[in-house]
Each structure stands twice: as structure tokens, then as C-alpha cells.
Amino acid sequence: MRRLRLLTVGLTFVLTFQIPLYASPAERTTTNPVAPDGHDPWVIQSDGLYHYCYSHRGAIWVNSASRIEEAVQFEGRQVWRPAPGMPYSRELWAPELHRLEGRWYIYVAADDGKNENHRMYVLEAETDDPAGDYTIRGKIADPSDKWAIDGTVMQHAGQLYFIWSGWEGDTNVAQNLYIARMKDPLSIEGPRSLISQPEYDWEQIGKPLVNEGPQVLERDGDVFVIYSASGSWTDNYCLGQLKLVGDDPLDPASWQKKNAPVFGSTATVFSPGHASFVRSPDGTEDWIVYHAAKRRGSGWDRNTRMQRFTWDIEGNPCFGYPVSEGVPISAPSE
């Protein structure tokens, strides 16, 4: 996310994971970055299309295409622009498009020009077209109503949950991950529960401390939350992992955190983070879509990338490491 610029810490994580599958000469290929600019990329699949939801020029846009890389490459259609002078008129961050209970909704962080007033808001589609017009339905918050960004929705055991990044109090000491039960797609019921805070060294690079960008990833009944850690303005932004191991998502003890990042910087790719996850068009492959810094030390000057990931024998996602720019990789299977 865009935040007050702080000093960049020069340490770079060089992670060794499973090597990505590179392309053979006969395959359709793509290269990273798949879009020259971009931040907090959110892509969702529906009815054979990929819908890319993003903020741009003070508004929210949606682009739809039959291929992932095409969805993130083109401008698409403006679906909502806030009226001026409202609490949600400025700094639209990380919008997410969700299909819930037969309707399309967009969840977005916004403020009035003052960062301390950032809160989550929900928009509802006026039609059944994900790229149609939207109407703001209001703020979505738990009773504490503290600073909140990067909200996402988890559907689990017939219940909706809202997960977001927020402050414990009213000052920017650290961003933690919180979860709360949703009454419906427009509102939260009950208090928030803390499920992650920056505790490991790799989560504490850059001040204030950061856990943000939670994304739900599910497979064969297992539920993961993949989140971003350390300052997004540093070269050490990376992805961490929570796994739901208990029955109650609102119980902090139900979440198990990995003690090392699952996706991070290399000698040539810096600050990969804030991902979303989709399947290939034929449904046989899993893909991560994420942003990374354009170069060492470029902070929030970022582009959009994607690559395939796999799973280990215990059912955990294996993201490998970020593929370097210009290296051909096999395009999503069709």
C-alpha cells in the first residue's frame, strides 16, 4: 500500500524454494512483468472470464478477459468514482471484487485525505455484470471502528468472515490482521479477533510494522490466509502464511503461522507481495498474481506479475521464488 515514506532497509531475503516450471519452445509463453504498472492486483474468475479489479485515477475499474495476463494488461471500465468531500473520496486502496449470495460486491479502503481515517467500504453492483456500475452501501467495520485496509471475505462452513489489516488503537504502531463474523455481505456482527501480528524478524523490516494484504487460499478442505509482511516500501516485503487448524476461525488459537516467509525477494526480484490466486482456464493449474518493485529500492513503483505454483505432499502451497523479468514461462493451460 502507499504510505508515508520511511527509510528503506537494505536487507534482501534470498529464498530458495521449488523451481518454477519454465516453458519449452512449443508452448504458449508469457514473461513477467505481465503489466508495466500495478499494485495490489485482485483477479477473480467467473463464467469463463477473469475479472481484474483495481484503483486508478481516483476511481475503481474492472477489466474482464478470457486470459489472466490479458485481464491485467488493459484499462477496462470505470465502475465507480466517489463523490468529492466524502469520508471515502480519497486514497482508494486494494479494491476486491467478490461474488456473494448471488450479487457482486467490491470492498475497498478509502479515506478523506488523512491516512488515519482509512476505513473499509463496500459497494454493491447495480446489475449482474461485474464490470457494470456500483453503488456505495457504506462503511463495513467492527464495533471498535479502528483504522482498516485490505479487507477480504472468507466463506467457511456456511458463514461469511471479514479479514483485514488494522491498527490496535488510534496510532500507527503496527498493522495486524483481524477477523470478524459477517452478518451479511454489507455488515460485520460482533467484535474483531486478532489472528496475526508482526512477530518474526522477517515481518519487522521497516517501521511501522506491517501485516497486511490477507488473501484466502483453499484446497481440499484446507484453508490458508496468505498475507504480506514488512514494509511495502522496503525491498523485503514478502508473503507469510496462516493455516486454519481449529474449528473456530474467530479463535486466534485456530490459526497456525509459518515461521518463515513463503514467497520473497531474490537477487533480481524485490518486494513481491499482495497476491491473489486463480486457476488456469482449464482448471488444472494454480496461479499467483502479485506485484513487485520495478527495481531495487524503487519502493511503491511497482508492476504486476504472475506465475504458476504447486502443492507439497502435506497439502501446503509451494510458491517457489519470483521468476526474473523476461524469462519465458509456460502460459496458463487452456
Instruction: Write out the catalytic residue numbers.
Output: 40, 212
Cis amide linkage into residue 33, ω under 30° from 0:
yes
- β 49-56/209-219 pair status: unpaired
Give dist(CA 226, CA 218) in Å, integer. 10
Q: Quick one: cell of 176?
A: 495486524
- Using CB atoms within 10 A of its CB, is residue 97 exposed (0-12), middle (13-18) or buried (19+)? buried
- Using CB atoms within 10 A of its CB, is residue 149 exposed (0-12), middle (13-18) or buried (19+)? buried
* Cβ atoms within 10 Å of 208's Cβ, excluding its own: 15
Q: Quick one: cell of 259?
A: 515461521
Give dist(CA 193, CA 161) in Å, integer. 11
